[in-house]
Structure 1
C-alpha cells in the first residue's frame, strides 16, 4: 500500500517586506497545521518576504525603493530565517515547502525566486530556483538553473514542485514526471495584474492555475497542492498609499486561490480564495495507480526511441576559481620524459654532422 497523509496549502499573506516577522508568522502557521494533523505544509511563492506585485503597477523608474527593500529583506538559503523554518519542521516532525526571495551571497542586489522543500528532519531536500522569471518578475529576479529540478523520495511519497509560470513549461514538468513524482506542489502569487480595469480581459489566474494544475495532475497521475499568496489589508493599504490611482487595479484583479487536485484532474479538499487561512486535503497515493493504466507518459505510453530529453542539473555560479599552484611533482619530468643534455634524438637518417 502507498502512503496516505493530510496536506496543508497555506493561503496567507506575509508581513509585507519584513523577513523576520514573516518567518515568525510562518512558524505559527506550521504549528497550527501540524496540530490539525498535516504532515506536509506548503507555502506560496516567495512567501518570505513578499511577492513584488508593485512591478506590475508602476514603471521600473518609480520602483527603486521597493527593490532596495526587497533585496534587504530577501534571505540567504543558509541564513537564519531558513534555519528557523528548518528547526521548526524538525521539532514538529513535518515536511515544509516554502517560497523565498533568495539573496545571492556574492551580490547585494542579486535575487532569485526560489522554493525550498524541507524534510521532517529539518534538512533541505530540494532547493529550486525559478528557471525563468515571468513577465515583470524579470525586473526583480535572475534566472535560475536546473539544479532544483528534483523529486524528493520521502516517507509520504515522491514530492516535486514548480513555481508559478514554470507549471506552463512542459519540459520542466516532464523532468519531474520522469523521476516518479507522486505529489506536485505549485506555488503562486496573490494576484497577477495584466490590465487596467478599463482595458478589460484581466488575467484570470484562478482559471489559469486550475487548468495548469489539472493538466499536470492528469498527465502525471499525481496529486497537486496549489498554494497561492494572499493580499491582506496591510499590503493593500501600503501599495495604495503610494498611489491611490491603482486602487481599482488591485481591487478588480482576481485574487488567487489555494486548493488541491487529484490524479484525474478534479479539485478535492478545501479551497480558499477570499479569506486568509489554511486549506487541507487527505491525500491517498494509491489513487495514482489506476490512472496509469490509461496513460503513463513515463512508462508504456511514450516512445523513448523517438523522443530524447536531456536535463542539465548543474548549479550555476558566477565564476570558477583555480587557486592551487601546480605541485612540484606535477612539474618534475618523469624518467620517461627526462632528457639528458646533449642527448637530443637525431632526426631519422641524419649523420649528425
Structure 2
C-alpha cells in the first residue's frame, strides 16, 4: 500500500428529503471524485435524505409531518439505496463514507443518525450509529450504540469516523485512537442554529469544528477529513416557504465548512464553505509516524496502570424471541444484529 492517498470531502446539498434522488446525486459525485483521483470519498452527516434543521427552527408540535417524511425517506442498510452505493464503490474501486438517516427493521418510527463505510470491494466495512443525538437532534433520532466504534483497515489506510458532536466526546475519540487510526472522518450538518441573531447569534461553528478536528488529529497523530453539508436554494426556499419568520435565523447562521487537517493539526488542501463542490487533499500516511515520538497516547505516553477504559461494542436490539421447534427452544434476534 502506498503511503500517498488522495481524498475527497463532499460539500454538497442533498435533494431535500428525497432519498432516491439524493442517492443518484451521490453516485454522480462519487464518479466525479473518483475521476479526479480520489480513493476515499467522504459525505456529510445524514446526507441521505437531509439534515433535519427544522428541529432547531420550530417547536416539536409544528414538525410532525416533517418527522413522518424523514422516517419514510430514511435509508435501510438492506435497501436499494445502499445497494446502489455499494455497487458504485465496487465498480470504481473506491472507499466511500456515507452519512444517512437510517431506518429500522423493527419500528417504522425509529431512525438513527448513522454513518456507513463502504470498501472498494463493495462490502460494508463499518456501520456506526451516533451514540447521542445532539441538542434538538434528540427530537428526531434515537441513541445509537457502540457497535460501530471501529477503525476499518482499507487500501487507503486505517479509517475511523465520528458524527458531528461525537467529536467532542474524548472517550469515543480515544476508542478510535486505540485502534491505530490514520484517517479520521468527522461529518457535520450544513448549519447549526442555536440562537436567534437578535439574542447574540451562534458561536463560531467553523472555528469550533476546526478546534475539534485539529485536537483529534494532534492527539491521534492522524489526518482529518472534515466534511459538512451545504444548504442550497431549494432547501432554503422550502424552509422559508413554510415559515417566513425564520429567514433571519437561516441567513445569519454561519454555514459549515469542509476542509482537512494533518497530524499536527494544521489545515491542508482545499476548503469549501459558501459554495457547493468537492474539496480534495493529498495525505502522506508516513507523516503519522514521526509525531508519535513526541506523545503516543495509546502507546508509551500514557499510564495504563492508572487509567482503564472498556468499550461495549454489542449491537443493541429491542427483544430476543424464543420459539419452540420440535421440543427445542431456538432463540431469534432481529436481523440487524448481524449488520
**TM-score between the two structures when normalised by the length of structure 1:** 0.92
Find the aligned partners of 1:212 and 1:166 in 2 and give their Cα distance: 10
Secondary structure of the structure 1 residue equivalent to 2:297? coil
Gaps of 5+ in 1: 329-353
Trace 1:330-341 onto structure 2 (pairs within 5 A): none
1:38 alignment counterpart: 38
How far is the alpha carbon of 1:205 from its aligned partner?
1.3
1:99 CA drift (Å): 0.2
Distance 1:288 1:157 in 2: 11
Please say if 1:219 is aligned against 2:219. Answer: yes
SS at the partner of 2:321? coil
- Residue in 2 aligned with 1:287? 287
Structure 1 distance, partners of 2:62, 2:10, is 31
Give structure 1 regions of 4+ aligned residues with deviation exceeding 3 angstroms: 324-328
1:237 aligned onto 2:237: yes
CA deviation map 1:41-99 (0-9, x unaligned): 00000000000000000000000111111011001011100110010000011000000
Question: 2:192: which partner in 1?
Answer: 192
How far 1:201 moved relative to its partner? 3.8
* 2:51 alignment counterpart: 51
Point out the more displaced range, 152-161 or 15-24: 152-161
Q: Report what 1:112 is aligned to.
A: 112
Q: Deviations over 1:167-208 (max 9, x none)?
A: 000000000000100000000000000000100141321011
- Show the counterpart of 2:10: 10
Match of 1:132 in 2: 132
Find the counterpart in structure 2 of residue 98 from structure 1: 98
Q: Max radius of gyration: which structure?
A: 1
- Pair 1:254-2:254 in alignment: yes
Tell whether the 8 Å contact from 1:115 to 1:128 is kept in structure 2 after alignment: yes
Q: List runs of 5+ in structure 2 lacking aligned partners.
A: 329-339
After superposition, the C-alpha distances for 1:294-338 in whole angstroms (9 at most, x for unaligned) are 01000000011111100000000010112145848xxxxxxxxxx
User: When the two structures are aligned, how many residues end up with a matched partner?
Assistant: 329
TM-score (norm 2): 0.95
Whether the aligned pair in 1 keeps the contact of 2:111 and 2:142 (CA below 8 Å) is yes
CA RMSD of aligned residues (A): 1.2
Q: Give 1:31 shift.
A: 0.3
Q: 8 Å contact 2:201–2:253 — kept in the other structure?
A: no
SS of the residue aligned with 2:322? coil
2:67 & 2:205 partners in 1: Cα distance? 24
